[in-house]
A and B are shown apart, each in its own frame.
Chain A
Amino acid sequence: AQSVTQLDSQVPVFEEAPVELRCNYSSSVSVYLFWYVQYPNQGLQLLLKYLSGSTLVESINGFEAEFNKSQTSFHLRKPSVHISDTAEYFCAVARTNTGFQKLVFGTGTRLLVSP
C-alpha cells in the first residue's frame, strides 16, 4: 500500500517570500507523484507531476518540485509567492504498475500568503 505524509497542515508566509511544502511518501512499488491545488470552494487542479525523466519538474506559475527517490520525497517550492497562491496543496501518489492508478493523497497543506 502507498501512503503520503504532509507534515505541515498550515504554512503562513508573507508575499514575495520563498516557500517549501513538504511531502514524503511510502511505497513498495514505483509511483508517479503529483501535486494538486485546491482554491477555496473549488475542485482539485493538477499543479505538477513526476512520471519519469528529470527529477525536477516545474509548473507554469513558478512552482517546482523535486523527486528524491532516496529520501522518498517530493517537496514543492516556490521562490516568491503571491497572495493568489493562497490555497490548499495536496501531494498524491499513484502506482505505476497498474493501469487503474487510484490516487493516494496526503492530508494537505494550507498555504496562507499575507501582504
Chain B
Amino acid sequence: EPEVTQTPSHQVTQMGQEVILRCVPISNHLYFYWYRQILGQKVEFLVSFYNNEISEKSEIFDDQFSVERPDGSNFTLKIRSTKLEDSAMYFCASRRTADEQFFGPGTRLTVL
C-alpha cells in the first residue's frame, strides 16, 4: 500500500540554524500539506500546496517558513532560522481527491 514517507525521523538543530524537512507524498496525489504538533498540543495546519504554489497558509507560516516541490516526488519544508518554539513534530500529508489526507510518520524537530 502506498504511503507518505518523511525524513529524517528526528532532527536536532541549534537555534538560528536552517533546517529542511523532507517528504515524499503518495505518487498520484495532487494536494500537499504540512502540519505541526507541539508536544502535548493539538495538530495545527501550516500550509497547503497545489499546482506548484501555496494555496493556503496559517498565521504560523511566517517568512521563516517556505515549501517547495523541487521535483516530481519530494515536498520540502524549510525553516530559515529556527527558534526554540519551532520544536515540534512536523507531519506531511497528501491527498488526491475530496477525501482523506494521508499522513506521514512525522519528523521530530528539536531546537536547542
Chain A contacts to B: CB under 8 angstroms: 32, 34, 36, 42-46, 49, 51, 90, 92, 96, 99-108
Chain B contacts to A: CB under 8 angstroms: 31, 33, 35, 41-45, 48, 50, 55-56, 58, 91, 93, 95, 98-106
Does the CB pair B98–A101 fall under 8 Å? yes
Does the CB pair A46–B100 fall under 8 Å? yes
| Residue numbers in B under 8 Å from A51 (CB-CB) | 98-99
| Residue numbers in A under 8 Å from B105 (CB-CB) | 42-43
| Residue numbers in A under 8 Å from B98 (CB-CB) | 32, 51, 96, 99, 101
| Residue numbers in B under 8 Å from A105 (CB-CB) | 42-44
Does the CB pair A107–B41 fall under 8 Å? yes
| Residue numbers in A under 8 Å from B99 (CB-CB) | 49, 51
Does the CB pair A102–B103 fall under 8 Å? no
Does the CB pair B42–A103 fall under 8 Å? no
* CB-CB under 8 A for A44 and B33, given A34-B100, A100-B55, A101-B98: no
Q: Which residue of A lies closest to B102 (CB)?
A: A46
Does the CB pair B50–A107 fall under 8 Å? no
| Residue numbers in B under 8 Å from A49 (CB-CB) | 99-100
Between-chain CB contacts (< 8 Å), 17 pairs: A34-B100, A42-B105, A43-B91, A43-B106, A44-B91, A44-B103, A46-B100, A46-B101, A49-B100, A96-B98, A101-B48, A101-B101, A103-B93, A104-B45, A105-B44, A106-B42, A107-B41
**Complex: how many Å from CA A106 to CA B43?**
8
| Residue numbers in B under 8 Å from A36 (CB-CB) | 103
Does the CB pair B100–A100 fall under 8 Å? no
Does the CB pair A101–B31 fall under 8 Å? yes
Does the CB pair B42–A101 fall under 8 Å? no
Other than the given A96-B98, A101-B101, A108-B43, 5 more pairs (CB < 8 A) read A44-B91, A44-B103, A92-B43, A100-B48, A100-B50
